[in-house]
A = this chain, B = another copy of it.
């Protein structure tokens, strides 16, 4: 891979994928936006060269210019505490928006780094704001996405504040499963693009605990693990294990509420 620096050359012509043909347009921003409006949104969005594994999309303190929508692959967001201790804040799958936490401060409070080859859409925020004022559906959608993020973070606070190690990992896996399903992937079989250490860090557990729990869940017949690959054998029971409201229907429902 010698052609690493040719960003603009690649992005402008070759990757001419518009929002309307993007398989994520049901999940990403443009819900409730009509064709013509979609074109206008599309026009402000920049599709960048894919990130290779480990590459940063942005770093802590970078000035906030744009939101990013994951098109394929995955990202993790994280900070370092004073002592250089990494804290993983989230994982981001296709159709999810990254950077919403930077609007208030004008700088990214977290870094975002790709966990595998990952492509994103860059959405310049000033343009998005302008467009939002003109397209009511878009404004509403933006508010909805932000509200959902707040909601999700609250859920995570419950998990971190009250749940046992077992419940945390179960909830994490069920959550991932739901997110995969929503975007048309298998809900019972997927790859973990993040390491055990990332999972542990995210869940507030030691990586050894995560590893032990995977083994235990496997012995209990709840799932099968092989390295990065996960197969959920008993999603039902895993849900119960997570001690949470898992009344997620099997079909793709838009936005289930608590």
Q: B-contacting residues of A (Cβ < 8 Å)?
A: 60, 79, 81-82, 85, 87, 89, 100-107, 109-110, 129, 132-134, 136, 139-140, 142-151, 153-154, 156-158, 160-162, 201-204, 243-245, 255-258
Bound CA–CA A145/B105 (angstroms):
10
Bound CA–CA A151/B143 (angstroms):
15
Bound CA–CA A134/B133 (angstroms):
7
Residues A105 and B257 in contact, CB atoms below 8 Å apart: yes
Contacts of A201 in B (CB 8 A): 161
Residues B257 and A109 in contact, CB atoms below 8 Å apart: yes
Residues B101 and A150 in contact, CB atoms below 8 Å apart: yes
* Shortest beta-carbon contacts, A-B, top 6: A105-B257, A161-B204, A103-B147, A153-B153, A160-B160, A104-B147
How many monomers of this chain does the complex have?
2
Residues B79 and A258 in contact, CB atoms below 8 Å apart: yes
Residues A101 and B154 in contact, CB atoms below 8 Å apart: yes
Bound CA–CA A60/B81 (angstroms):
35
Interface of A (DSSP majority class): helix
Bound CA–CA A148/B60 (angstroms):
16
Contacts of A60 in B (CB 8 A): 258
Bound CA–CA A57/B101 (angstroms):
27
A131 to chain B, nearest CB (A): 11
Bound CA–CA A258/B107 (angstroms):
8
Contacts of A144 in B (CB 8 A): 103-104
Which of the residues B109, B146, B150, B158 comes within 8 Å of A81, measured between beta carbons? B158
Contacts of A156 in B (CB 8 A): 153, 157
Bound CA–CA A225/B105 (angstroms):
34
| Interface-central residue, A100, A102, A244, A258, by most chain B CB under 10 Å | A258
